[in-house]
Amino acid sequence: MKKRVLILGASRYYVRSIIAAKELGCEVIVVDRNPKAEGFRYADYHEAADFSDIDRSLNVATKYHIDGVVAVNDFGVKPAAVIAKEMGLVSISPQIAEYATSKALMRSIWKNAGVPSPRFKVVRTLDESRAALSYLGTFPLILKPSDSRGGGSRGVSKIDSEKQLEKAFIYAQSYYDDKKVVIEEYLDGIEHSVETITYNGDTYVLAVSDKVKTPPPYRVDKSIIYPTVFSGRKLQKIHDVVKAAVKAIGINVGAAHVELCSTNEGPKLFELGARCGGGGTPDPIVPFLTGIEMFKEVVRIALGEKPNNLKPLFQKACVYRFITPKVGIVKKVVGLDEVKSWEKVLDCDVLVSQGDSIREVKSGGDRTGFLIAGGGTRDEAIDLADRAEKHIYFEYLD
């Protein structure tokens, strides 16, 4: 009898992961609140429900008698942990899931454990924010919601003076019911995202990227470039800090997505998610880069099985480029189908159509589309991503 895995999330970004799980021979159940979620077409069973609702997700898990559960974004991390606990499945605990979805909690844990991260203050009011400026001492600063669910730099902005504080504070509180805000020192350096899997107490680093952000004041990923420019001792320091971060939070099994910055003082942490990196990161990016079938390994572990391989077999290059054209109302998109056919374009899509509005990019949800460009080297992958993005042309209504 086939094993059943429940995947919490079924948007276009997760289609490749759903397909990967099916390729393992599993029956795949997906949950998403969008009744037209594209991932529904690829799963064996689907339920249109808000998977961040723990009770509803648990009801789905019980209904289908699942053997494993995987969250593909932070909204699913706590529900997945509760489902696993209630059904005796493999997962982190609900308490660890709580730590991994709160920037305030994870920062406090890292500070107490001596794991390097920015100086910060957690505030709840504008007056507390003003008082925090004295403690932090100098600009620029970053304001962000404490709640880390949803990712995509929701509510995150950079300020260069106290005059910008109120607007940034209101923006940070605009996304979540939890009104705690983290104010932290701005880190100058190369930012990274790092993919890991922990199994039998050991954390394996699968891939390290360098990130390019959209222009300030907002802090949204524009390009994620693999592999990092760092090697040798500097790369080892990144590995060491990432492993220390995962251990301090208490993640003892499964994937983690860690974000940090290489500064003149060494690597310092931003945040961590107890799941794979977003969208195409676990599939097709990590498999193309390293030969490690990341999402399949995560599913195997969730099903109580031994992973096949958690060590890179080779090192290629890849760029995860997000498409951010100018603001306007779409008339037509030209060139997309041609780019999809290009060799080493691993995936590509535009998430708007005629009549849709393209917004200013303040968070990940404002991005218009994406492309994943592979190559033998960083330069090859970057060149392909640049050419592909330029080839996708947007025409606008007057």
Residues forming a β-bridge with 213: 221
Rounded to a whole number of angstroms, the distance between the first and last alpha carbons of the chain is 57
**Omega of the bond leading into 215 within 30 degrees of 0 (cis):** no
Q: Taking a C-beta distance cutoff of 8 angstroms, is the pair 148, 77 a contact?
A: no
Task: Walk along the chain (398 residues) and give the pLDDT tens digit of each residue.
Answer: 799 999 999 999 899 999 999 999 999 999 999 999 999 999 999 999 999 999 999 999 999 999 999 999 999 999 999 999 999 999 999 999 999 999 999 999 999 999 999 999 999 999 999 999 988 988 999 999 988 876 667 788 999 999 999 999 999 999 878 889 999 999 999 999 999 999 998 999 999 999 999 988 988 899 999 999 999 999 999 999 999 999 999 999 999 999 999 999 999 999 999 999 999 999 999 999 999 999 999 999 999 999 999 999 999 999 999 999 999 999 999 999 999 999 999 999 999 999 999 999 988 889 999 999 999 999 999 999 999 999 999 999 97
Please state which CATH class domain 4-92 belongs to. alpha beta
- DSSP alpha helix (H) spans, the chain: 15-23, 54-63, 77-87, 94-99, 103-113, 126-136, 165-172, 232-249, 286-290, 294-302, 336-340, 378-391
Q: Supply the pLDDT for residue 178.
A: 84
**Treating both helix axes as pointing N-terminal to C-terminal, what angle do 165-172 and 126-136 enclose, rounded to 10 degrees?**
120
Q: Which CATH architecture does the domain made up of 318-396 adopt? A: 2-Layer Sandwich (3.30)
| Closest among 286, 288, 292, 284 to 308, alpha carbons compared | 292
Element (H, E) at 144: strand 141-145
Instruction: Return all residues near 206 (Cβ < 8 A) that are at least 6 apart.
Output: 195, 196, 197, 286, 290, 292, 294, 310, 312
Q: If you write DSSP's letter for every residue of 222-251 in order, what string do you get? A: EEEEES-S--HHHHHHHHHHHHHHHHHHT-
Element (H, E) at 325: none
- Domain 187-316 annotated CATH 3.30.470.20: yes
Instruction: Return all residues near 37 (Cβ < 8 A) that are at least 6 apart.
Output: 10, 11, 30, 46, 48
3-state secondary structure of 360: coil
3-state secondary structure of 143: strand
Could you tell me the residue ranges of all domains in the chain?
4-92, 119-185, 187-316, 318-396
CA distance 386 to 345: 12
3-state secondary structure of 281: helix
CA distance 90 to 68: 7
Same fold, 187-316 and 318-396: yes
Block residue for tokens 């005796």: 88
Q: Quick one: tokens of 346?
A: 């691993």
CA distance 249 to 110: 8
- CATH superfamily to which 119-185 belongs: ATP-grasp fold, A domain (3.30.1490.20)
